[in-house]
Amino acid sequence: MNQYPIWKNLMVLVVVLLGALYALPNLFGQDPSMEISATRDAVVDQTTQSRVEQALQQLGISVKRMEMQQQKLLVRFNSSEDQLKAMDHIAAALGEDYTPALTLAPDLPDWLIGVGAEPMYLGLDLRGGIHVLIDVDMESAITQAAERYSSDIRTLLREEKLRYVRISREDERVVVKFNTAEKRDQAIELIGNEFRNLNVKDIDQEEAFLVEVSLSPAEKQEVQRFALQQNITTLRNRVNALGISEPSIQQQGVRRIVVQLPGAQDPGKVKEILGATATLEYRLADTEHSVEDAVNGRVPPGASLYYERDGRPVLLKKRVIVTGNQIVDASSGLDQQTGSPAVFVSLDGVGAKRMRRMTNENVGRPMAVVFIENRTTTRMVDGKAVKVKRKVEEVISIATIREPFGRRFQTTGLDTTEEARDLALLLRAGALAAPIEIVEERTIGPSLGQDSIDQGFASVMIGLALVMVFMAIYYRVFGLVADMALVMNLVLIVAILSMLQATLTLPGIAGIVLTVGMAVDANVLIFQRIREEIANGNSPQASIQAGYEKAFSTIIDANITTLIAAVVLFSFGTGPIKGFAVTLAIGILTSMFTAIIGTRAVINWIYGRKRVQSLAI
């Protein structure tokens, strides 16, 4: 009696061994490391490695190990001081084509890597880093699209020589006014044929012949989808240039983007780079009119008044030579003549042509670079938060055109090398398709993360020890078996979390703690039943059998209901709450296995197949 078939014992053994194997990587430490990846066209190869070696030799830092990975070079240091010291030096030695990023690399033996075992993936709240939730302004994406259509329609009507009175854009729709019904009908046909994705209809009012053009629902969706995708791509470019290892940029819902930057330290800088919508415009200075008059409110037609960063007024022509959209590449460096920070810019074909023509005609005249940035601020209006968009326009450089130039040229007048670098980064990373706003930000310092791990670990261990002592005293031999199951349960949770590479968060640790408390429940149910059976005068063997059998359906019912709660938590929750739900769900499943099948296997091994007078329970 009370004997498991061999396959069941084997299964328990296999699960236990696999669990131990995949939980193992978490016992190994992590090396402070640097991950070097190439940006743009460069490749990471032996040359890169020798350049890094050279740079480190100059600093007198010896590394633990260097590993060539796919498209990446991993440099392991002996201490985090070495790692930090080396960072700037290596960045300088490699130049702009490479991005070094600080990271922690697990120090695993080869055979563990061979079986694909990895340590648990720690969430930002445990390892430190920045989490940003970004809302994409879809309304503005739609308005921009409408703006585009309005200008396309204008061009179309002109080309077809169809005279209209006025074209105006009202929010999401474009209204064209005609003076005869005939022209209106012609226009409806023309626009309808040309733009099949637009809704076109007449909305005549009191003697006016109006055509209303609007985006079809499908087209609106497409515009929004595109805006989100484009923004994700742009944000990814910006994030990559920040030099952070394992960044994650993901869509959330239909209008949100989550950016996670493990290890990032400076939230101000990150937000500035992510949220910036900076662009440049090149314009000629208006030297024919007086700046003083303009300051006093008499701005001449064809010109606008701008201010330099130090507040000096400048009069610029309204016509833009080239805009940021025509910039294909930008890098920062130092101006060779003056040694001041500069941004080197390359233009696309159209931009280059225009720049060449304008500079050709205007040698000797001053040209200005205008820095344009859209900032969103939140104001409280009648107790409600309202977003206000503000456009900041500053002249960052004004210089005389010495000779005609075209495709490649440089912009100077920036205050610091850092500013030059940020500007180059923004220009290179491209523009956002729609304005964004940061709606949630969570920054966790690395020391807090470490504290959380330590405290979480300590509380799991203390709780575990207390429960184990209690079980051993209360249920004696059976209690010890339950203790084994409890430890095994913990190992299995860690193994599954490691295998799934699910993110372990602080609430996740709390979930584990809770599971430890509740995991003994199944065993308590079984053991109480066994005691009852013995009290009813049944034989020890029969009591074991009956105890496990009768408790089974209760355990299933009780656990499934808890599982329902975990599933609900998972489906509604974000980040940390999801982590809690995942560990809770895994814990319920593994505890059922260890508490029902695992303990039975051990109990069978101790008591099974022999005559037993009494049970130590």
* Residues numbered 551-590 forming contacts with other proteins, rule: CB under 8 A: 553-554, 557-562, 564-569, 571-573, 576-577, 580-581, 584
Closest separation in Å from C-beta 311 to other proteins: 21
Among 18, 328, 467, 542, binds other proteins (CB under 8 A): 467
Report the residue number, 36 or 506, with the smaller CB distance to other proteins: 506
Rounded to whole angstroms, how far apart are CA atoms 75 and 105?
A: 9
Residue 244 interacts with other proteins (CB under 8 A)?
A: no
Closest separation in Å from C-beta 450 to other proteins: 11
Rounded to whole angstroms, how far apart are CA atoms 377 and 421?
A: 25
Among 474, 480, 484, 612, binds other proteins (CB under 8 A): 474
Closest separation in Å from C-beta 500 to other proteins: 20
Strand-pairing partners, residue 390, are: 375
3-state secondary structure of 373: strand
Q: Any idea what DSSP says for residue 332? A: E
Q: How many CA atoms lie within 13 A of 502 on its CB side?
A: 24
Residue 377 interacts with other proteins (CB under 8 A)?
A: yes
Q: Any idea what DSSP says for residue 308? A: B
Report the residue number, 221 or 561, with the smaller CB distance to other proteins: 561
Among 129, 456, 547, 587, binds other proteins (CB under 8 A): 456
In this structure, which amino acid lies at residue 319? Answer: R
Pair of tokens at residue 151: 């200008």
Closest separation in Å from C-beta 602 to other proteins: 20
Stretch that binds other proteins, among 296-304, 305-313, 354-362, 369-377 (CB under 8 A): 369-377
Rounded to whole angstroms, how far apart are CA atoms 233 and 221?
A: 18
Pair of tokens at residue 31: 């090396």
Closest CA to 582 of 568, 566, 594, 562: 566
Neighbours of 505 (CB within 10 A): 24
Closest separation in Å from C-beta 308 to other proteins: 23
Following DSSP, what letter does each residue of 16-73 receive, concatenated? HHHHHHHHGGGGS-EEEEEEEEE-TT---SHHHHHHHHHHHHHHT--EEEEEEETTEE
Residues 477-506 that bind other proteins (CB under 8 A): 506
Residue 451 interacts with other proteins (CB under 8 A)?
A: yes
Give long-range contacts, CB 8 A cutoff, 24+ apart: 331-340: 331/96, 331/424, 331/428, 332/96, 332/417, 332/420, 332/421, 332/423, 332/424, 332/425, 333/420, 334/417, 335/410, 335/412, 338/412, 340/412, 340/413, 340/414
Residue 471 interacts with other proteins (CB under 8 A)?
A: yes
Closest separation in Å from C-beta 385 to other proteins: 5
Closest separation in Å from C-beta 132 to other proteins: 8
- What distances in angstroms separate CA 349 from CA 322, 407, 408, 475, one per listed residue? 11, 8, 11, 82
Residues 306-325 that bind other proteins (CB under 8 A): none
Closest separation in Å from C-beta 497 to other proteins: 18
Closest separation in Å from C-beta 446 to other proteins: 9
Report the residue number, 43 or 461, with the smaller CB distance to other proteins: 461
Report the residue number, 374 or 410, with the smaller CB distance to other proteins: 374
Rounded to whole angstroms, how far apart are CA atoms 106 and 31?
A: 6
Closest separation in Å from C-beta 64 to other proteins: 27
Among 516, 544, 592, 602, binds other proteins (CB under 8 A): 516
Count of residues engaged in binding other proteins, rule: CB under 8 A: 78
Among 150, 332, 452, 604, binds other proteins (CB under 8 A): 452
Closest separation in Å from C-beta 467 to other proteins: 5
What is the residue whose two structure tokens read 């010896």?
62
**Interface characters, 117-146, with other proteins (x: CB under 8 A):** ----------------x-x-----------
Our CA angle for 400, 405, 407, nearest 5°, is: 135
Rounded to whole angstroms, how far apart are CA atoms 27 and 109?
A: 12
Report the residue number, 134 or 497, with the smaller CB distance to other proteins: 134
Contacts of 253 (CB under 8 A, 6+ apart): none
Are 515 and 489 contacting, i.e. CB atoms less than 8 angstroms apart? yes
Report the residue number, 188 or 432, with the smaller CB distance to other proteins: 432
Residue 437 interacts with other proteins (CB under 8 A)?
A: yes
- At 436, which helix (H) or strand (E)? strand 436-444
Report the residue number, 348 or 373, with the smaller CB distance to other proteins: 373
Residue 273 interacts with other proteins (CB under 8 A)?
A: no
Among 466, 487, 500, 616, binds other proteins (CB under 8 A): 466
Closest separation in Å from C-beta 506 to other proteins: 6
Residue 18 interacts with other proteins (CB under 8 A)?
A: no
Pair of tokens at residue 332: 């920062």
Among 190, 352, 525, 592, binds other proteins (CB under 8 A): 525
Residue 218 interacts with other proteins (CB under 8 A)?
A: no
Closest CA to 100 of 77, 78, 132, 123: 77
Residue 517 interacts with other proteins (CB under 8 A)?
A: yes
Question: Counting beta carbons within 10 angstroms of the beta carbon of residue 30, is it exposed (0 to 12), middle (13 to 18) or buried (19 or more)?
Answer: middle
Residue 464 interacts with other proteins (CB under 8 A)?
A: yes
Rounded to whole angstroms, how far apart are CA atoms 3 and 600?
A: 9
Closest separation in Å from C-beta 267 to other proteins: 6
Residue 92 interacts with other proteins (CB under 8 A)?
A: no
Residue 447 interacts with other proteins (CB under 8 A)?
A: yes
Rounded to whole angstroms, how far apart are CA atoms 395 and 309?
A: 6
Residue 598 interacts with other proteins (CB under 8 A)?
A: no
Residue 392 interacts with other proteins (CB under 8 A)?
A: no
Among 311, 382, 385, 614, binds other proteins (CB under 8 A): 385
Among 11, 38, 233, 267, binds other proteins (CB under 8 A): 267
SS3 content of the chain, % helix, strand, coil (to 5): 50, 25, 20
Residue 6 interacts with other proteins (CB under 8 A)?
A: no
Closest CA to 251 of 136, 169, 328: 136
Stretch that binds other proteins, among 7-15, 102-110, 163-171, 546-554 (CB under 8 A): 546-554
Residue 276 interacts with other proteins (CB under 8 A)?
A: no
